Structure 1
Amino acid sequence: MSAAAAPIVPSDPGRPGSGGRLAWLDALRGVGATAVVAEHLLPWFLPGLRPYWFSLGVYGILVFFLVSGYIIPTSLERHGDVRAFWISRIFRLYPLYLAVIGLVLALAWWVPVRGEVPRDGSAVAAHATMLLDVVSVGGVADTMWTLSYEMVFYLMVTALFLVGAHRRSGALAVGFAGASVVVGLVASGAALRGGWPAYVTGALFAAGLACVLWGRARTAAACVLGVMALAALVLSSRVPWLGVAVLAVMFAGTAIRRWEEGAGGLWPVAVTAALVVLAPLWAIEGGWWWVRADVWITTIALAAATFAGGMALRGRRLPRAVVWLGLVSYSLYLVHHPLLKYFTEVTGDLRRAEPAYQVAMSALALALVLGVSALAYRYVERPGQAWGRRLGRRPDRPDRPDRPDRPDRRAASGARAGLRQG
């Protein structure tokens, strides 16, 4: 697993205007997208410019997970309807995801699928759920592993929402941060190995999500899915401490939102950051450069400062280019790594080429990536989102949460009011 990839997952519909209500979130995704592309482009094209005093890839991971943590629970509360929320998620993520899988498989005769992908049904099951990394299955595109942690977060937030525990974000952030330290000390890798975790999670995911969407035993099914996701994260993921730390960061993003709404303090965020700094204890001993104390702390500090800077610029006009990068960031995330592979397959190894030639090829590769990302957003992402909105509005059985959830309708109403004021 590489630390270079970051999950650039669209969290909520942004507006193209540079001064829109959610433009600052798009701008943050744009900054993160640029960091991720740079992390993958520099070693292949301009290796002398790659920084080692902080990790571009982990920086992008932290920024994007903070954004997801900030907006995803609020998006669910705004819907007040887990069926509409999941239809939105499915049609926002899967069309492009499946298109990239199809592209990589179609060109496997030229650039073979990476060896980390099992040649059996476990790969199909893991890709179907997006729970790739938490069941130790490599994705057909290198960057897909980070989507696993987004999916775990969605499953857990859904369960918490349905049992009325979704507002305990600060406690959850601190709890997961502390757990990441413990897991980092006792687990150096997956305890459950082989293909069977992918099959089991695949079957539970399909059955549980069907119940969530159609309302049959919805709360019970969501709780099973949440427990399954957490168990897989700890027991069968490639790097257990990292997955638990990622959940801590995401719930810290939610805690920031609660603080902004006046529903909590910032002290859980500070405690979470301090514990996450301590989390990679085993990894430091293992010699991974990006978790050395100086690199790890600097990377965390830069990500936190970036998110804080984005919040400070809310409502102000932001550079259109950065906001646009945020809008196409999911496409950019999924397509850039395969495209860079194909590009270098044509040009050959550029690491020892003349600097002027490296710069020229970098500019050409970047133009290709941005162009294809724009097309993917226009012709794959946006139509998928439109289908999701239509299906989410389709008349259906009233969404009747189980009895314990009814008091939280007031919370959902409050969240909608908060979004209108944001």
Structure 2
Amino acid sequence: MIAGESTPGDNALTTLALEEPARMLIDDILEAAREYLDTDVAFVAEFAGGEQVFRHVAGDAALFRLSSELRVPRGWMYCQAMTEGVLSEAIPDTAADPIASAMEVTLEANIGSYVGVPVSLPDGRVWGSMACVSRSPDHSVGKRDVRFMRMLARIYAEQLEREEREAVARRQKRAQIRAVLREGRLTTVLQPIVDLVSGAAVGFEALARFEGETPQPPDVWFAAAEEVGLGPELELAAVRSALEHLDTLPPDTYLSINVSPETAVSTEFATLIENGTDRIVIEVTEHAAIGDYPQFNSSVARLRFRGMRYAVDDAGAGFATFSHILSTKPDIVKLDMSLIRDIHRDLARRALLHGLIYFIEQINATAVAEGVETVEEAESLKRLGVHCAQGYYFGRPGEAVRTVAPSRPSQADERRGRVRVLPLAK
């Protein structure tokens, strides 16, 4: 074994050479090598056990009977002999080199000149080699070309190391999420949604919590799951956990569940909520990308027909609020806490919210304010005509509902001749 070289068992980079963005990077690197050295073919090959695997080949590979993913005995090409110091890194004329000229590959592939360097990882492991070959001898090949190839090999090796670190991190994240699912460490807490006029709870939002030695915010867990391809599985587990609370809620209240657009339209989700659809509200944040609005609306419409309601979450936090709402026609619009904070002190916020509330009512939806923390904010929202709210003032997630005394309808509601209270689906 070559000193510092990795074996198949400890080389986590075997498959990474073909992943993005390394693929695009190496294509550019090899083309740069071919153009600079003016050779027929450039390639990167990995040493994998007793084989040399050609991971990337640029140029007319057929000239030398090469192709990407070609596997040959490790000693077939010059690369192993080069890394061992038996062959020079630059061979201007293979016919004039006593060792190269005696190798079968020289005649089989009709190689006239060669420039190759090891691809060594920062920890000293020899991953493989990077080389350029031509059918004709090239007596201009020399140390300058070797220095250039070494520079390119270092760039590629650094990219491989980054890919390796990311792959290890992905495996760790997958293992952590699998453990959460396997051990039942995903739980649900409820936060009340309160009618601002009567003070009664009209619904409860289900919020996921993750137990463990190193707890992390839920959004970190869900983002990690999405990154490693476990997003839908973790979301559906959160939905199952939330639904366990449905029968414990007062009969005239609803359960609000956060889901992504992909989960909302999935058959698995529809199956999970089929026995309680008329008491379910799904919340989809306006930040969540909906690639196909007609398909989304069609899928959600089937659930809405069975009594489920749809809410746009975090409205007003981004730039696409109105377009998103108009495209999905929600039953409920949840106003982001950034609009609510200190609204009793901010005339501009009140003016903006007044316009949003009017817009929400005109599309026959219900406004729910999020992140209400003080009585002053609650009273200001009530005067503006906001129907319902949630936040620490009414109850923290997992705590009992704070009792809020009933009050007279706001002037805005009196002018409309009605008080809009979030109804349950019929």
Q: TM-score, normalised by structure 2?
A: 0.20
Structure with higher Rg: it is 2
Q: Which has the higher helix share?
A: 1
TM-score by length of 1: 0.20
- Which structure carries more relative contact order (alpha carbon 8 Å, separation 6+)? 1
More strand as a share of residues: 2
